[in-house]
Chains A and B, each alone.
Chain A
Amino acid sequence: MPEIFYWEAIRDALREEMLRDERVFVMGEDVAIYGGAYGATRGLYEEFGEERVKDTPISEAAIIGAAAGAAMCGLRPVAEIMYIDFITLGMDQLVNIVAKNRYMFGGKTTVPMVIRTQGGAGRGIAAHHSQSLETWFVHLPGVLIATPATPYDAKGLLKTAIRDDNPVLFIEHKMLYRTTGEVPEGDYALPLGQAKVTRPGSDVTVVSYSRMANRSLEAAEVVAAEGIDAEVIDLRSLRPLDIESVLESVKKTGHLVLVSEGYKNANALCEVAFRVNEFGFDYLDGPMLRVCAADVPVPMSPVLEEAAVPSVESIAGGIRQALAD
Chain B
Amino acid sequence: MAPKILARNDKLRLLKQMLQIRAFEDKVFELLARDLLKGASHAYVGEEAIAVGACAAIGLEDYITSTHRGHGHCLARGADLKLMMAELCGKATGYCRGRGGSMHIADVKAGNLGATGIVGSNIPVATGAGLALQMKKKKSVCLCFFGDGAANTGAFHESLNLAGLWKLPVVYICENNLYGMSVSVERALAVKNVADRASAYNMPGKIVDGMKVLEVYEAVSEAVERARRGEGPTLLECKAYRFRGHSRGDSRKYRTREEEEHWRARDPIEQFKKHLLEEGALTEEEFSALEKEVGEETSAAERFALQESPDPSPDDLYDDVYVDYEQGNTRLRRKS
Contact = CB atoms under 8 A, between A and B. Distances in A.
A78 B223 CA distance: 43
Chain B interface bracket (under 10, 10 to 19, 20 to 34, 35 or more): 35 or more
A123 interface: yes
Contacts of A59: 152-154
Interface SS of chain A: loop
B88 to A, nearest CB: 9
A307 interface: yes
Contacts of B317: 294, 296, 299, 304, 307-308
Given A30-B183, A124-B39, A126-B104, A299 B99 contact: yes
A124 B152 CA distance: 27
Contacts of B100: 126-127, 300
A33 B318 contact: no
A206 to B, nearest CB: 23
Nearest to A306: B314
Nearest to A130: B117
Contacts of B101: 124-126, 300-301
A34 B254 contact: yes
Contact of B40 (A86, A129, A297): A129
Contacts of B102: 300
A89 interface: yes
A300 B182 CA distance: 25
A294 B318 contact: yes
Contacts of B5: none
A303 interface: yes
B321 interface: yes
* Residue of B104, B116, B183, B253 with most partner-chain A CB within 10 A: B183
B200 interface: no
Contacts of B120: 58
A85 B118 contact: yes
Contacts of A301: 90-91, 98-99, 101, 311-312
Contacts of B91: 301
A304 B312 contact: yes
A294 B39 CA distance: 20
A33 B149 contact: no
Given A126-B99, A296-B317, A57 B117 contact: no
B117 A127 contact: yes
A128 B327 contact: no
B98 A57 contact: no
B103 interface: yes
A80 interface: no
A308 B181 CA distance: 29
Among B100, B118, B120: residue with most chain A CB under 10 A: B118
Interface in A39-93: 55-61, 85-86, 88-89
Contacts of B187: 55
Given A57-B149, A57-B188, A129 B117 contact: yes
Contact of A128 (B104, B152, B253): B104
B38 A124 contact: yes
Interface string B136-177: 000000000000011011110000000000000000000000
Contacts of B321: 295-297
A300 B101 CA distance: 5
Given A125-B117, A128-B117, A129-B117, A300 B99 contact: yes
Contacts of A60: 153
Nearest to A123: B39
A58 B187 CA distance: 11
Contacts of A89: 118, 153-155
A302 interface: yes
Contacts of A302: 38, 90, 311
B189 interface: yes
Given A61-B154, A304-B312, A125 B181 contact: no
Nearest to B96: A300
A88 B120 CA distance: 13
A294 B315 CA distance: 12
Contacts of B103: 125-126, 128-129, 300
A121 to B, nearest CB: 11
B180 interface: yes
B119 interface: yes
B242 to A, nearest CB: 15
A265 B105 CA distance: 28
Given A303-B312, A307-B314, A58 B150 contact: yes
Given A30-B183, A296-B321, A300-B98, 18 more contacts: A29-B180, A30-B181, A33-B254, A34-B182, A37-B181, A55-B183, A58-B149, A58-B180, A60-B153, A123-B39, A126-B39, A127-B100, A295-B321, A300-B99, A300-B100, A301-B101, A301-B311, A304-B316
Q: Which 3 A-B pairs have the closest CB atoms?
A: A128-B117, A300-B101, A301-B90
Interface of B: 38-40, 90-91, 98-104, 116-120, 149-150, 152-155, 180-183, 187-189, 253-254, 311-312, 314, 316-318, 321, 327
